[in-house]
Amino acid sequence: MFDTISPAPPDAILGLTEAFKKDPNPRKTNLAVGVYKDAGGATPVLESVKEAERRLLTGEKTKSYLPIDGSPEYDAASQRLVFGDSHEIVTSGRAVTAQAPGGTGALRVAADFVGQISPGATVWISDPTWPNHPSVFQSAGLKVATYPYFDPASNGVDFDAMLATLASIPAGDVLLLHGCCHNPTGVDLSTSQWQAVAKIAAERGLLPLLDFAYQGFADGLDEDAAGVRIVAEHCPELFVASSYSKNFGLYNERTGALTLVARTPEAAESALSHVKRCIRANYSNPPAHGGEIVRTILGDPELRRRWEGEVTAMRERINTMRHLFVETLNEKGVTRDFSFIARQRGMFSFSGLTPAQVKALRERHGVYIVGSGRISVAGMTEGNMEYLCEAIADVLKD
């Protein structure tokens, strides 16, 4: 059977890391994958995480299985991080949370759940979006369609077109929204736009699924949850897929959570029983270590304060890099206006470079960015900025 299989195309993001590793260019720079680098170019383990791990190493008593839906303390802490401690959704019990292997794992569990409860549903994703979104939903047997989102002319949201499409989506379909730091564009909805989207979703009976992978990377942990909370005000049912890869730096620990909000606690519990069946059939129960780290940090006021400081430092460094990037491009003689990059939020900058320019960057300079023109600002440093901007200036001449 295997002799007849032709190779699948490489992954649009992680496939570039594979190619990067093989590239002999000594100046090669990987700005494809969304992984935070500090000023020295390292992806550090956060100090709060190290301290939590020290405590876990001495305090851990067993490696026995977690429940199918994970640690109850972790699940509760995840819910509070999304909605705030005293939010009605948290206190009423009409939300349930299942620990999941990363944000992608959470999305896939949501997709499996929708595929079983509502097999005809289509998932509506933004154009553009994270390249893995369609695969996650299609792998669960769901159909995928797009709504307009990014307007290259203004480098903002094409909001009228977005609303017009949303107003035509049939009831019961899933509306995937990026909670903050839209990936790949870095362009988020304003408060009034969130309100309009939430209102339409509620009026049309759509099921919002918030992909929430960058909480803390735009303006702050609470500030970045504003969109999710607005949707929750209007829509009685929704999903939130949280990821702790970026804000806790727990990339390889695969640490995330799926929160399901229902109209009543009874409906939420009933839905959770189906979520658990999806999990059991997929990976049985979640890995524990990353979740234990998050639970330990969020449950200890001092550790939490340290972690919040570290999230702030990462966010501020990225924003400094955004400004330095725009300035350095100017210094290198680039006349095109890239000032919009300083206004984008989160780990990525949507550069507007063409696929041919992206290819030239890689082949001529060993600079790896995603085919859509997405550059990881989180991977820029003062050390690689000059080289990066010279390379971009060069390919812009083509």
Give catalytic residue positions. 130, 211, 246
- Residue 13 touches ligand LMR, criterion: CB under 6 A: yes
Nearer to ligand LMR, 130 or 159 (CB): 130
Beta-sheet pairing, 174-178 with 207-212: parallel
- Shortest spacing between CB 34 and ligand LMR, in angstroms: 3
Compute the radius of gyration of the chain from its Cα atoms. Answer: 21
Is-cis flag, bond preceding 10, omega within 30? Answer: no
Range 84-143, binding ligand LMR (CB under 6 A) = 130, 132
Nearer to ligand LMR, 132 or 320 (CB): 132
Which residue type is seen at 296? T
- Residue 33 touches ligand LMR, criterion: CB under 6 A: yes
Give the position of tokens 């494809």: 32
Q: Which of 34, 70, 287, 379 forms a contact with ligand LMR (CB under 6 A)? A: 34
Q: Which residue is nearest to ligand LMR (CB)?
A: 34
Is-cis flag, bond preceding 265, omega within 30? Answer: no
- Shortest spacing between CB 184 and ligand LMR, in angstroms: 7
Give the closest residue to 275 by CA, choosing from 68, 65, 92, 95: 68
- Residue 196 touches ligand LMR, criterion: CB under 6 A: no
Give the closest residue to 201 by CA, choosing from 226, 169, 178: 169
- Residue 380 touches ligand LMR, criterion: CB under 6 A: no
Give yes or no for a contact between 291 and 71, defined as CB atoms under 8 angstroms apart.
yes
Residue 238, CB half-sphere, CA atoms under 13 Å: how many? 29
- Shortest spacing between CB 128 and ligand LMR, in angstroms: 12
Nearer to ligand LMR, 30 or 384 (CB): 30
- Residue 226 touches ligand LMR, criterion: CB under 6 A: no
- Residue 350 touches ligand LMR, criterion: CB under 6 A: no
Q: Which of 183, 247, 351, 381 forms a contact with ligand LMR (CB under 6 A)? A: 183
Compute how many other C-beta atoms are within 10 angstroms of the C-beta atom of residue 84.
Answer: 15
Phi, psi of 27 (to 5 degrees): -100, 10
- Interface with ligand LMR (CB under 6 A): 13, 33-34, 130, 132, 183
